[in-house]
Amino acid sequence: MSRWPEYVQVKEVGPRDGLQNEKKRVLTKDKITWINKLSESGISEIEYSSFVHPKWVPQLSDAHEVGKKINRNPDVRYSALVPNMKGLELALDAGIDGASVFMSASESHNKSNINKTIAETYPVLKEVIEEAKAAGKHVTAYVSTVFDCPFEGKISPDQVIAVCDRLLEFGADDISLGDTIGTAVPSQVETLLDEALRRYPKEKIIMHYHDTRGMAIANIMTSLGYGINRFDSSIGGLGGCPYAPGAAGNVATNDILYLLHGMGIKTGIDEKKIEEAALFIQNKLGKTLPSKSLAYAIAQQ
């Protein structure tokens, strides 16, 4: 029997987590075209935008319009980041299938990112989660800086578990554990998953790796060994974090698909269509995306 999961769900976060850190504005019509391409790739969930205040993330100020105009594939869950009740109201009107809430395990990163303490964040997210669930929406709770914080250094698993406990108590369906600054190594992943999987079923856990130090694939391999079969990724390796200076983008969707398919793990995703979508956004941004699998594919043309 294989020690790896037979199937892995890859959630595409490029249109949100990828674009939010790009200074060059992408036209709304191009975002719509791009998301429509992703919708036909076999991906089962696309986080297409963020309903934070436009002042904080101008690139995603068109979240409502994008949500209204994309072609909805019934086999895809379209989710968006929502910080508060105002954001949720707009997101529901735009037709989200899933709401993503977010906070940090690190007090200082939470203050930098949300401008609230962890204690002040809980009641805000509790209300959002409860209202989203009442509206029949799936809720994913992102917990950032679960390994390292740019301000505090190492974060203990106890800090992470304390936050996860509260978010699940509020009604979140699952938790995405984020290596926000991309500095974790496999031993840290083991330490956290040892604790997390003692408390929660693996089906509740999504891993969210950035690739700042080139460790994302190694950390994914470690997670697979624990039976984790849900990962966030960003097409072409697009992105970073506006509140974590120097952080690289999420692990590239192209690279994780090469890994998984090469290992015989099913994803339901067409690599060629992902490559086409990556080339489309690379062209619109006028920059080379960091995915090694994408670079190799381009070199073969």
Q: What amino acid positions are annotated as catalytic residues?
A: 241
CA distance 295 to 299: 6
CA distance 15 to 70: 12
Length of the chain in residues, anyone? 301
Alpha carbon distances (Å) from 289 to 6, 90, 94, 126: 29, 31, 29, 37
Q: For residues 249 and 240, is the Cβ–Cβ distance under 8 A?
A: yes
Cα–chain-centroid distance for residue 27?
22
